[in-house]
Structure 1
Amino acid sequence: MLLTTAAAVVVFLDSDTPAGFIEGLTGKPTSAWMKEFGSLSREIIVDAFATEEPTEDKVNDSPDPTREELACRSAEKFLTAVTRAILEKETDELVRLGMEDGELVGALDARADFYAACFNDGDVKRVGFTPDDTFPIPRNSFPGRAQKPIRKEGEEDPPEWIVTIENINVTSPNWVQEDQRTRQWKGNDASRRDCYFVIEDAEFWRLVKRKDLQVEVWDTLKVQWAYRVVDGKAKQRRVLRVLEFNGAKLATPLPPDAINAILGGHSSAAGSRAEPSLFEGW
């Protein structure tokens, strides 16, 4: 779980999010954060192969942190810095950093919900985000911070996620989990249309790394996946759970509550379609 959190932070840093946005929020450029995450393995290797005898002080110290702990600490530092900045900075400054555009606007919505909750609680007089006993944000600023950003004309919320269970014939797999962002899996759905997708099922990737799957020339998957319909076509396909691999059962479908925790909301559709659907061009 800790490594998954750290990996998610690395993916975020390596995404198309503007570097100026990261530096504006945290005070450190993206390159500095990436360097910190990239140094984890080097630090571990150096410690593991150190030949010097431990001093008495080191013997009495607590054990060296594991890889998971190091990854968690770095992820914690980054997430704390970003979260604090979003909650602490003035709204105008966040807008100048570009948070009103794209999916980043969701962070402003969450910020507004936080300050609305603070305002609705009469016991909350001021707010602060450091270990010190200082609370620089006064109650009279809560209403302004509780205002959600106005959507630009023509801008709409992204389409709702639709979740189905379907069978896929894989035509071009990608067995490197970290490379899915640049090269997705390719296959044919139940209607024999080409489809591209990523697999987010952590248990499936654990089986891959353990080489516990019987891979064939033409693999088949039964998956529980989510997608959004944009302009009549399914987009952003995400495999949430691989249920079967080449006929071998791997897992049971995720329940609705678990799906909502991942997607933030969804609707369900019927299972695999044997006949062509209205969504031509999938």
Structure 2
Amino acid sequence: MPTVRSKVGAVHDTPAGFIEGLTGKPPSEWAKELGQVTAGELNEVYSAEDEDASDEEPPETTPISDEKACRAGERLLTAMTRAVLELENEQLRRLGMEDGELVEALEARADFYVACYNDHDVKRIGFTAGDEFPIPRNSFAGRAQPPARKKDEEEPPEWSVAVENISVSSPNWVEEDQRTRQWKGKDANRRDCYFVIEDAEFWRLVKKQDLHVEVWDTLKVQWAYRLVDGKAKQRRVLRVLEFNGSKLANPLSPDAVNAILGSHRPTAGAPGERTLFDL
């Protein structure tokens, strides 16, 4: 359960209404039961009091020891984790767990039930110290379904990196203008493509006028792109390797590409060969 517990831990500062809906008790009841925190202190500890709470100063209280505060948080977190795993999907949706960062807790919950479903020795599930197992195996599959992320919350596709030749049909020699008007050319398979050049050394040569410019320039580049519905998008030239046949640089190392892009996958591309652009 550590994965689920860590994901659910992100909701510790959610409103009091959410805590009550998930655990069946408002934060004030948790304070009374645990004997750790007064209602006045709870505003700072759980950030769960109403925004329009009274401006009156809270009564003086005895300072809370670190150990007691940790135990209070542990009890609350355990109750919330148990509720996330036990409640039906529809109950969690009504609490708003499919919105924002809370959706990660539902994804962790789905991973948990996938593991249970794949282990045929697991017949029922329970989360108490007693011999109670209220969740039968036939409900594992439904609980194992991950929540549907909203379109703007979906993870972007992984970057693909390749070395290819480009014939430039419409350059843009002003570096700062690339975001409004990208370079245009044809890739190794004579497909139209649009891209930006992010290679600082290339732009240094441009400013020094050290490049021999022709009517139809050719570039050999190391670039990155994302495949969206089978088409390459967001093309970024990371390093210009050759300009009109003159060598300018070597390809970036995998570590250097990682520093720029993070997660990515290398892709082979060569003139006349089918590339991922043709998928």
TM-score (norm 2): 0.47
TM-score (norm 1): 0.47
